[in-house]
Structures are given as structure tokens and as C-alpha cells.
Chain A
Amino acid sequence: MHHSINYMSLVADAVILIILVGFVLTAFRDVARLGTGVSRAWAVGRTTFIEAWHNRMWAIPIVWMVICLILGFAIVRGYTPGSEVRVYLTIFLRAQEIILLLYLGILACLSLPRERERKTLITTGAKPVTRLELLLGKIMGLAAAALAMLLVMMIFTWAFMKVVDHRIRGDAMAVYQLQKKNYNSLVRHVPPDFGLLYTARHGVLQAQNYITGTLHIAGLISYAHNPPIRYMKGGSTETVYFEFPSIPANLSYQPDFLFNFGLLPVGHPASLHITAIQRDNPMVTEEATVKLNASGEAAWTPKHRFRFFAYTDPKTGKISNPGPVVLKVTCPTFHVYLQIGDGTHVSNTSCLVTGVNAAMLHEHGLDYILPKPDPVITGFKSNGWQEITGPGKTGRTPPEVASWEFRHLNPLNIPTIKGDKFDVHLICGVSKETNEAIPTYAALVAYAQDDPTHPVKLLQLHINEKRVTDVQLPRRLLDGSPLIINLSSIVHGHWLKIRTNSVRIMQKPSSFIGNLFKTELVVFCEVILLITIGVVSGTALGWPVALLTTLCCYILGNLFHFVSELAKANGFELLNLVQQHRLQGVWYYQLGSFVSGVMVHVLEILVYLLPNFTRFAPLPFITASRNMPWLFLAQNILAAIISMVPAIAFGYIVMRRRELS
């Protein structure tokens, strides 16, 4: 695949490399002494910690608690129990992050400049302590302060959440008992909500571990056939992708793409929108719209076929091979469904290439090329949600089906329940077009891909809006072949809103405290990185400028993606002035455009040079009651270290040049 080189990133990398080389050249003696120097650095850090304590560090967790309780009680009213915990956690952890970043960032910026102002650095600097140890000591001391505060905050968060969880469990059990009583006495027609019982038993604080599959089929599925037949909905965003390996063609023949879709309703006029793409060079494309005949067939020949077919130049004998080709096909016609064949045989493929090569005709008895089997169908909307419709009013139109594929499942990682089953959770949104009074039910069909003839069918699952629906499936489905789980709404007018992780194979849950601890560690990584930047800024600058510099670094670090995207445009295009064509020939427009372009590129180098703070995102896991993987934590720790090393190296070089008094 063609990758464009990002020169600004290279410049930033080169600067970091120069800093590191400079550090290695100047600091090798001090680094060698770090063996005994760690205790000296910690001595400096300990004093920094005591200073932070005397700067009312102890008051910060108290202020945080007060803010959280006020905000929490003010905001949380009216939320459902599950959301209540999410709101509390978001407030508690976000407030923690902001307060710690603010307080410790300021302390870090003040640290060295204030020592310089009070001249205590003279007394300390006369002792056998290196500047590297001084720098590390300052960072260590403030890191210890951050850790202490985080610990207090974590314990408070845990205790508070336990109290909330206890109340929610009690409430859930009470409501469940009431529903059960009403159901038994026929006052209620719907069985009691299992989700309530689940909440009452397990609480809402579990850090759940689960496996998510790939959701790559969207459309109708008919189970009348084995394997099931898939359909793509016309007039929607659903798209089918046919991928062909390299297509060798003798260009004395005319190679064509032939399409053969089953069409519902039969004979309805429909058209296809086709985009051919060189897979390894996606900039090379060609688009066309073709009409399907009454049998759902069409043929298409690319105008620039050299772009997509491998051919031998008869004059030079040179072989030109553009690599694999992907056809992206959508159906812009409303009210039709295209049946997609699985592509395993010429008789059940919806797309093939014909008339490719006379030589192939003789060798293999074939004059066509099939795409990869099981073409991918996608239809995701922009916000990541996919809605699948229920069946038609009369029941003659089947419902749309979402299908998840779970590959490489290790049965040892999936706990057994009730003897021979494993747990699957469904979490879907529901939207009702009609039949608002009726509860939403879904059908779930699960089968091993290698054995589609023995599916497990659960045809009436009660779906609560964004609540867990617990399903137990037999362990025989985990026999090694990919597991397919299909889900569809069975109520007319009820849509299921699904995402990739709407179907989850549950693993053993982790403890909430462990998940909270990991979350706090990610916050710690972010804080320690800001501390490093603050301390390093203070090596050369007075505290007001150091403060401003650190703030700029943090803001730019959070705008990493924005700035790197911004820089893809240029000059006044950034300001959306490109449409003013009448200005484009004017010299001051060109000058302004050039200057703004240079500024943006400088900004781009800066964001590549500075730590990327956007990667520290601890909240999405814990607020979704999902266990944070150790890998994510390790990535954050590694990212913090990788960002800290050049910063410390830069600070050391500056400090070494700068006099202590």
C-alpha cells in the first residue's frame, strides 16, 4: 500500500534523536553514577514531597471530595442505576484528573525556579548531587505526591461506589421481587426482568471481561438455506466488497466484471453503484453505475482496464501487475434487496471476472476468476451504530440480521456455567417505529462456521434498552471453528441498535478495585508526564513562563489529532478561504497563504515533538463496567516513559549549561 511520508514527523523525530544523542554524550558520567544516585535523587524527592505537603497538598483530596459530592448529587438525579454509577465515576475520575493535573502542574513549574529564587539550590548544589539527580529527584517527589493523593482519592472512590452499589443491588432485588410477584399473580404479563436479578446478584461495579467479535455482515439473512443466504438492502449505506486477487488478462480479449444478484422483489428495476479500487494503492479508483436486468444481472468493463488487470505488453514483454482489486458495490435503489452469494462456487457467486485469458481457458478449463469467498457486507452509520429492522408487517419480508464472527476462541478462557454452557451478553439499543406498547424481542442464532447445519436458535429473547440480556450457549460451539452469532429483531417496527460489542462472550469478571487501580495508574501516567514537562520547563525559565509553556504543551498534546489533520490542508485552505478564487492570484493572498502554511507546519512539528496526551484515556473502560486490559495499561506506561525520556534529556542538557546560582 502506498504511504505518504510525513516530513514534519520526521523532523520531530530527528530533533528528539539529536536531544538523545546530546544527552548520551553529556550525561554518561552522571548516568553511570545513578547507581548510588537514586538515593540522592530520592532525598531531593522526599524534600519536594514535604514541601508539597506544606503547600497544603493534603487539602486537595478534601476539596476534590467536596466538589465530587456536590456535583454528583446535583447531576445524578433522574439517571437509571447503571447510568448513575457511570455518572459518578465520570465525575469522580475526571475531577481527579483535572485537579491533579492543575495542582501538580503548577507545583512542577514552581519547583526549580522557586529553589533558584530562594537560593536553596546553592546549598544543595554544593553537595555531591548531580544535576540529573536533582531533576529526577524533583520529578520523583512530585510523582510521590501524585501517587499519595491518587491513593486517597481511589480509596474514597471505591468506598463511595461500594455504598452506591449496595443501594442499587437492594433496589434491583426489590423491583425484581415485585415483578415476580405480579407475574405470578397474573397482574404482569411479561416475565420479571432478568437484568434486575443480574444486577441484584452481581451489582453494577463489576469490571467485565469479554470477547468481542467482528460485525461484518449486515442485511437480511434467510435461514431457509444452508448456509444462510445474505441480502443487502437497497437505498441504504450497506455496501458489499468483492476482493479479487491479481487478475491476469490477455488484453486481446475483453475482460468483464459480471454481477449476478438474487433480486427481491423479483424483476424490480434496480441499479448498482460500483467503485473499483486498487487494494494496494487506493488512490487509483474508477466509478460507474450500471443497471441490473430483471434477473439481477449486469456486466461492467472498466474504462481504464490497465489499472486493474495484469497484462503483458506485447512490444516490450514487460508485465504490469497492479495487484489485487476490490469492487465496492452499493445499491442506490430503494425498496429492493440484493441476495449476495457466498462466492464459493461459480454457481453461487454474485460477482466474477470473465474473458480474462485464453491460456487459462485451456489450462484450467476456466475463463473466469472468482472473488474471495464470503464477501464482506458493511452498513455502519457514521456514529458507529447500526440499526437492523424487524420483519415486514405481514411477515413476508424477513428481518435484517446482524452477524458477529468470533475467531480464535480459546475455550480455556471462557468459563463454563451450568455444566456445559458459556455466557453471552447482548446489549442493544431499541427504537420503536410502531407497536410501541409491545416489548422488543429478538432472535439469536448461533452456529459454528464449519457446522452450520446444527445451529442453536433462541427465538424470543426479551431486549431491554441498553440493558444486559443474558444468554447461555452450549460449549460445543467453541469447538475451534469460528463462532457465528446472528441477531435480529422479531417485532415489526422495532429496530435494534447494535455496535460491534453488542454481543459479548463473557469471561470471568475482574474486581472493581483492580479496574479502578488500573484506571488510577493511567491517570498517574498522564500526571507524571505533565510533572516532567513542568519541571523541565522550570530548568530554564522563570515560573510564570514555565507555567505558560507547560500549559501550551498540554493543550497541544491534547490537540494532536486536530493539528495533524489540520496540517493536511495548507495555507488559507485551513481558514476555508480556498473558495475565494478571485483572491488566489493576488500577491498578498499568496503571501498570507504561505505564512499561514509555514505556521501550521511549525505547529505540526511541535505536536509531533511534544507528548501526545490524547492517548491517556482511562475512563471509557471503567465507566462502561469493562475491565481495562493489562495491555492498555502497559501501553500507557510505555508511552509515558517514551515521552519522559527525551523531556528529561532536554531538561538535563539545559540544566547542565545553566548555572545553579
Chain B
Amino acid sequence: MVASGLAIQTRQLTKIYPGFWKSQQVAALAELNLAVDRSQIFGLLGPNGSGKTTTIKLLLGLINPTAGDALVMGKPAGDQDTRRVIGYLPEESYLYRFLNARQTLDFYARLFNMNRAERRRAVDYYLDFVGLDPAVRSRRIGTYSKGQARRVALAQALLNNPDLIIMDEPTSGLDPVGMLEIKNMILRLKEAGKTVLLSSHQLADVEDVCDRLVILYRGRVEIQGTLNDLLEVKDTFQLEARGVTPEVQAQLMEVVQRNGLTDVRTGRPRVRLEDIFKNLVDSKRKVDRR
């Protein structure tokens, strides 16, 4: 049924949440057909209630489909062996509040049958990887800030060095620096040959990292394709250069007018607010460290 190259494939995947009466039934997902290649960052977009989280839960086997089926890494969704190669970051950091970061990761590492040495190594490595402050690692998660808890949640998703990482709103609760770090991390994961399924409302994030994406609306696929295919404006040309003097600019405008081009916009390029924020925080942190 499935080509071995696909990380995720769904066929007519449908989920209807039953109501007390038939009229109260809710179709969260309707006949979803999806194919995600390996080593790809795949975006899952859509407004609230479009079926993103339902799709993810179906792929993880947390809920049962009403119809259709799904294969993840070549095996049926929800299969115990499949879950060994999946990392999942839920939309909120659903962690045990009474455990500290180390205990949390140790618990999840035990679920992957890691031995004591492997567990210790993995816990330290991934807590460093997600940049959790060592001073808070022995504190209970109940006392963490949202961002700190998010980092622990991310660490647990990566703990088993998964081939497929499913991230539901990975940047939620993070400051812009954290967001940028996560984005860089996702790109690093791709470089390492991992497949990432990314569900987010932050369109800029998706735009920055995704290779392909699908947009869902009320449980149905509305748009699907690569980022370039979807975002490229075919009949528009953009030129950007340094050292453009007013004379050169006037000459360029003359060429534009001569050729009768319309909707011409000129101006100075702007850096992104995100970059300014990150540079500021980075510099301040360096000062703090001194």
C-alpha cells in the first residue's frame, strides 16, 4: 500500500466525534489523504478546529479513526513499534508537575527501555540541547515558567533520537529568541535526516522552515504543495542590491517606465523585528554573563 520512502501516509482518514444524538456529531477530519516524504519538514496549517491536532492524535494512535487508515514510518499508526521512532511535542507542555526536569526525562527514557547509562547520557545531552538552565533542572516542573516547561517538553520529544518528530505549536509560550532557536533546531533536525511534521498558527515560522505544507479547513485539505509552489508570485520580479545611488535608482525607474510595467514599488529594505530583538537580547545576555 505504501511506498517505503514515505514517512506518513494517510488514506481517507476520517474522524467523527460522536455526540449524544446523531445531529450532535462533529466531523473533525474528513477523508484526509496525506503523503509526507522522509527528511522533509512538513507544515500542517489551518485555523482553529480545522483538524490539525486530531490528525496528529490519529497518527500517534491516541485516538481511533472512524474510517480510513494511516501508516507512519511504514507501519500502522498507533503501533507500539512505530511509537519507538516518533517524538511528539504536544501543543501544551503536558508534563508531571511533581517531577523535576531530570526525573521527567528519566521517566520517558525508561519507557524506551534505555538502560541506566543511556538514560543518564540522554537526559544530560537533551537538557543541554534545548538550553534548559542547569540551575532549574532539579526543581519541580510545577515551578517552571512556560518557556522552561516547553524546553523540557521538547527534550522529551527528542529523547529517543526519533526519525519522525511531530510538533504541535512548538514555539507556543516561547520568547522570540526561543522561537528562533526552535526554528534553527528544526532546520538542524532536517539536516540530520529527520522528518518533521509541524503544526502551527505562526505562519512566519512555517514559512521559514517548511518544505511542503498542507492547509486544512474544517477537516478537509484545501491547499497542498511545496512552499515555493505556493508562495512564489510567478509574474513578479524583485531586485535587491547594495550601494544603489539616487542616479542608478532614477535610471532603473526609467527602464521600468519605458517597458510599461505596472504596480511598481520601490523603497529601502527593512530588517525583521525578530532579528533586532534577537541581537539585542543576545548582546544583553553576553553583558550579563560578564
Contacts and interface: CB of A to CB of B under 8 A. Distances in A.
Interface of A: 33, 36, 39-40, 42-44, 46-47, 50-51, 54, 118-120, 122-130, 659-661
B98 to A, nearest CB: 4
B86 interface: yes
A120 B93 CA distance: 9
Contact of B83 (A39, A50, A127): A127
B108 interface: yes
A123 B107 contact: no
B90 A43 contact: no
B88 A123 contact: yes
A130 B84 CA distance: 12
B26 interface: no
A659 B15 CA distance: 12
18 contacts: A39-B113, A40-B113, A42-B110, A43-B110, A43-B111, A47-B96, A51-B96, A51-B98, A118-B97, A120-B96, A122-B57, A122-B94, A125-B60, A125-B62, A127-B83, A130-B80, A659-B62, A659-B64
B80 A128 contact: yes
A653 to B, nearest CB: 14
A54 B140 CA distance: 11
Contacts of B88: 123, 126
Contact of A122 (B86, B90, B97, B98): B90
B250 interface: no
Interface string B105-119: 001101111000000
Contacts of A46: 107, 110
Nearest to B85: A128
Contacts of A33: 80
A392 to B, nearest CB: 77
A120 B95 contact: yes
Given A128-B84, A659-B63, A661-B62, A47 B94 contact: no
B81 A128 contact: yes
Contacts of B110: 39-40, 42-43, 46
Contacts, number: 74
Given A47-B107, A660-B62, A661-B62, A118 B80 contact: no
B94 A660 contact: no
A119 B92 CA distance: 9
Given A122-B62, A659-B62, 12 more contacts: A40-B113, A43-B110, A50-B103, A122-B90, A123-B88, A123-B94, A123-B153, A127-B111, A127-B112, A128-B83, A130-B80, A661-B62
B63 A661 contact: yes
A142 to B, nearest CB: 15
B88 to A, nearest CB: 4
A36 B92 CA distance: 30
B151 to A, nearest CB: 14
Contacts of B103: 50
A169 to B, nearest CB: 47
B156 interface: yes
A125 B57 CA distance: 10
Contact of A661 (B57, B96, B108, B156): B57
Contacts of B61: 125
A128 B107 CA distance: 12
Interface of B: 57, 60-64, 80-81, 83-84, 86, 88, 90, 92, 94-99, 103, 107-108, 110-113, 153, 156
A47 B92 CA distance: 20
A660 B63 contact: yes
A118 B96 CA distance: 9
A303 B81 CA distance: 79
Contacts of A43: 107, 110-111
Contacts of A129: 80, 111
Contact of A118 (B81, B86, B94, B113): B94
Contacts of B60: 125-126
A51 B88 CA distance: 23
A126 B63 CA distance: 11
B98 A127 contact: no
Nearest to B59: A126
A54 B96 CA distance: 11
Contact of A127 (B57, B81, B108, B153): B108
A405 B36 CA distance: 84
Contacts of B107: 43, 46-47
A128 B84 CA distance: 6
Q: Which of B95, B99, B110 has the most CB of A within 10 A?
A: B110
A323 to B, nearest CB: 61
A54 B57 contact: no
Nearest to A118: B94
A50 B81 CA distance: 28
B79 to A, nearest CB: 9
Nearest to B109: A43
B180 to A, nearest CB: 25
A126 B92 contact: no
Nearest to A54: B98
A126 B86 contact: yes
Q: Which of A43, A126, A129, A659 has the most CB of B within 10 A?
A: A126
Contact of A123 (B84, B98, B113, B156): B156
A267 to B, nearest CB: 88
A40 B99 CA distance: 17
> What are the 10 A-B residue pairs with the smallest beta carbon separation, nearest first?
A43-B110, A126-B88, A54-B98, A127-B111, A659-B63, A119-B94, A128-B83, A123-B94, A660-B62, A128-B84
A43 B113 CA distance: 9
A129 B107 CA distance: 12
Contacts of B97: 118
B129 to A, nearest CB: 18
A128 B160 CA distance: 11
Contacts of A125: 60-62
A50 B111 contact: no
A50 B102 CA distance: 14
A130 B80 CA distance: 7
A122 B95 CA distance: 9
Q: Which of A54, A128, A130, A661 has the most CB of B within 10 A?
A: A128
Contacts of B112: 127-128
B60 to A, nearest CB: 5
Contacts of A127: 83, 108, 111-112
A122 B53 CA distance: 12
A297 B159 CA distance: 95
Contacts of B153: 123
A256 B62 CA distance: 81
Contacts of B96: 47, 51, 120
Contacts of B94: 118-120, 122-123
A602 to B, nearest CB: 26
B111 A119 contact: no
A50 B113 contact: no
B83 A119 contact: no
Given A39-B113, A126-B88, A128-B81, A50 B98 contact: yes
Nearest to A52: B98
Nearest to B60: A126
Nearest to A36: B113
B62 A47 contact: no
Nearest to B87: A126
Contacts of A130: 80
Contacts of A118: 94, 97
A122 B157 CA distance: 12
A102 to B, nearest CB: 22
Contacts of B99: 47, 50
A120 B61 CA distance: 15
Contacts of B83: 126-128
A123 B111 contact: no
